[in-house]
Amino acid sequence: MTLELILRIFVAAVLGGLIGLEREYREKSAGFRTHFLVALGSALFMVVSAYGFGDIITGTQDQAIRLDVSRIAAQVVTGIGFIGAGTIIFQKNVVRGLTTAAGVWVTAAIGLACGGGLYIIASVSTFLVLLGLEAFNYFLRRFDRHHEEYNKRHNVNDEKDNSI
């Protein structure tokens, strides 16, 4: 059982690290270490909530004790909200960091899934996160390239005319 639990947190750390590597490559505020730690911590919280109290709980048929492991998962979601909020910046009427906050949030969910032993769901989710981030960047680059070509062909200057 111990090897299985180690595998859960290890897989969570690897999957979170993969998302973090993509964010690090894009030079975002929350990179490899943040995503690695969020996934690992989330998985560890899930493992502890599900299996960490077995030696403390004793009960008989008449007084069975039940634990609600979903409570810890809910608290992880709340805690990650605080970390995500710290990555969001409102500056000069522009909001920045929403994708980073969402990435940290989904990385926590992937960690919880690994902690629950749901490796396939966690792996597919990681793939989808990376696909979504990369596909978005691909379309942005294409759009920017077409925008620049259009401006060159039509002699459009991107700078605003501040003269009155």
Q: Is residue 48 part of a domain?
A: yes
Would you state the pLDDT for residue 150? 62
- The reported pLDDT for the residue numbered 138 is 81
Residue 161's pLDDT is what? 46
For residue 124, tell me if it sits in a domain: yes
The domain of 125 spans 2-53+67-153
pLDDT for 55:
62
Q: Cβ(114)–Cβ(11) under 8 Å?
A: yes
In a domain, 58, yes or no: no
Q: Given this model, what pLDDT does residue 164 score?
A: 47
Residue 105 lies in a domain: yes
For 95-123, b where at least 16 C-beta lie within 10 A, e where not — what string? eebebbbbbbbbbbbbbbbbbbbbeeebb
Query: What was the pLDDT predicted at 12?
Result: 95
Single out the residue of 47, 42, 46, 34 nearest to residue 2, CA to CA. Answer: 47
**Residue 9, domain member (yes or no):** yes
In a domain, 159, yes or no: no
> How many CB atoms are located within 10 Å of the residue 5 CB?
18
pLDDT of 27 reads 85
In a domain, 40, yes or no: yes
Tell me the pTM: 0.73
Tally of structural domains, the chain: 1
**Tokens 């077995």 belong to residue:** 54
Note the pLDDT of residue 154: 65
d(CA 5, CA 83): 26
**What is the per-residue pLDDT for 60?**
58
Which residues does the chain have with pLDDT short of 70? 53-67, 146-154, 156-164
Could you tell me if residue 93 is inside a domain?
A: yes
SS3 content of the chain, % helix, strand, coil (to 5): 70, 5, 25
Helix (H) or strand (E) holding 34: helix 32-51
Spatial separation of the C-alpha atoms in residues 76 and 79, rounded to whole Å = 5
